[in-house]
Amino acid sequence: MNNGLRYARNLKQPITIKQCKENWRYFAVIADKAILRVQNIRVMICTSFFELFKIGPGPSSSHTVGPMRAGNIFRELVLQYFTHFGTEGNYRIRCELYGALAATGHGHGTHRAILAGLFGQIPQTVNTRWLSNLFETPGQMYMPDFGNLKIPFTEHDIFFDYTHNPYRHPNTLKLVLLHNFRPVFERIYYSVGGGFIEEEGNIAHTANTPQPRYAYHNMDSLLWVLEEQGLTIEELLMQNEIAITGLSEAEILQQIARILAVMHQSVQEGLKKEGVLPGGLNVYRRAKGMYEKALQHTQHGRHAEALFARLNAYALATSEENAAGQMVVTAPTNGAAGVLPACLEYLRNDCLVPETLLQKGLLVAGMIGFIIKENASISGAELGCMAEVGSAASMAAALFSFCNGGDIHQISTAAEIALEHHLGMTCDPIKGLVQIPCIERNANGAIKAYNAYLLAAGRTGIGKPVISFDQVVEVMRQTGQDLSHKYKETATGGLATSFGWGNMPGS
Ligand code: SF4
């Protein structure tokens, strides 16, 4: 074996794009090109915790949070254009939605989110009541303000293409600025899950992307770095966050506390409310009733029922808030936003875990989300629901393991078990709403996460697990690729098309 090939096969630590290019030149000379291909060299994870966990309105991170951000980014470009070229003449903005964004955009409020973005609203601070009322009156004209010019915008300026998607991603939206009915410029945005937006022609990671202090691209390389550096997982993640964001440790902890507070509030608000959720499916809120049952179970000493009912109630609470368009945190997406808050609430309220430990636990959960996002996807439109609720359950299993004293191997095993038992799960939301099966699915995700932690913690003295976390992430990616598009947030198969709508009290 020559030196280049030996180096490549032993390559555990990920390298930067710059290093990748330099090493590739080196490899090209000395290595066997048939075996060593540039795509085998992974690029490190540069995602910040605060890109993964974003505060924003429900019901969907890819269909609501992402499009609002895209609308806002496009607004900035239009403002720059007007600064250079003035505002003389008749301007309009046209929006085109493709793939899953078109198929379930109405149910997810994509059209409202884009208009809010054009108004300059951002997900963290948008008024959810104002947002949910947009386009409620047919034919109403809105006048988003671009400096000293207001551009008229109606529902007819948004085109849903249900049959044709010429672009590379299933969640595509195009925004076009028109001057006297002729296109001036356009941007194509891909909403890739969890509220992340990519722009056609822009590479997400560049040499200027802030670099983490300790590079890793999957669990295997993370374990290698931890061992090499003699760090704990929470130390490594904090150092990386400092390097990527430029914030101090105190500032990062303060922002994590804010994320935790929004998650906590979403549970508490959801536990108070009753009634039917919007959207016409006649789905009743059940979190409050479930919590009352949990209290009764506790009173009667039914411990197993009390545990399950509490996790169910907390997950239902946040998921119902999400379905009602209220503020939640992408964890890693809005559709799966109920799982982690439920597990955090259980640890906080019922196990009395201190906030400082929960903050570190959420960092660890975020690491699982980073690895899944980098190596597979967290988008239901790309890989089905295993990428959303499966990822959330995997992150929550890691949280449970960490907060209960598990080491990185146990954390990794808990995350692996939780993800493994979501493989193949389809995304088929009825009427394109994030209600059936999504709300109950979050409750089940929380319970599976708890059980995955127990299964991992119970593995003592029997060696390494047969399947590693990285392997199950790869299997998820392959399984998701094989799924029919009917089961990828298009509401054209499965539960979404098998039964009548609107006649089911609950699901
Ligand atoms: S089925 Fe799963 S992936 Fe699809 S919208 Fe619901 S929660 Fe998201």
Same domain as 48, residue 32? no
Give the distance (Å) from ligand 1 centre to CA of residue 496. 11
Q: What does the alpha-carbon distance between residue 88 and residue 91 come to, in Å, rounded to a whole number?
A: 9
Same domain as 449, residue 355? yes
**With contact defined as beta carbons under 8 Å apart, do 388 and 379 qualify?**
yes
Beta-strand pair 91-99/158-161: parallel
335 lines ligand 1 (CB under 6 A): yes
Same domain as 35, residue 74? no
Same domain as 361, residue 290? yes
Same domain as 177, residue 35? no
- pLDDT value at 2 more than 70: no
- Mutation choice for ligand 1 from 389, 423, 425, 430, CB with most ligand atoms inside 8 A: 389
Same domain as 398, residue 322? yes
What 3-state DSSP class applies to 241? helix
Q: What does the alpha-carbon distance between residue 287 and residue 279 come to, in Å, rounded to a whole number?
A: 18
The number of folded domains in the chain is 2
Ligand 1: atom nearest CA of 426 is: 1
What 3-state DSSP class applies to 416? helix
Q: Identify the domain containing residue 17 by its residue range.
A: 3-41
Same domain as 144, residue 37? no
**With contact defined as beta carbons under 8 Å apart, do 427 and 384 qualify?**
yes
- Shortest-distance Cα residue to atom 1 of ligand 1: 427
- Shortest-distance Cα residue to atom 6 of ligand 1: 438
Same domain as 134, residue 19? no
427 phi/psi in degrees, rounded to 5:
-110, 110
Structure confidence by residue, pLDDT tens digits, 440-470: 999 999 999 999 999 999 998 888 999 999 9
Same domain as 291, residue 245? yes
**What's the chain's Rg over C-alpha atoms?**
23
- pLDDT value at 56 more than 50: yes
385 lines ligand 1 (CB under 6 A): yes
388 lines ligand 1 (CB under 6 A): yes
Same domain as 224, residue 212? yes
Average pLDDT, the chain: 90
256 lines ligand 1 (CB under 6 A): no
Same domain as 55, residue 32? no
Structure confidence by residue, pLDDT tens digits, 165-223: 999 999 999 999 999 999 999 999 999 999 999 999 875 544 456 889 999 999 999 99
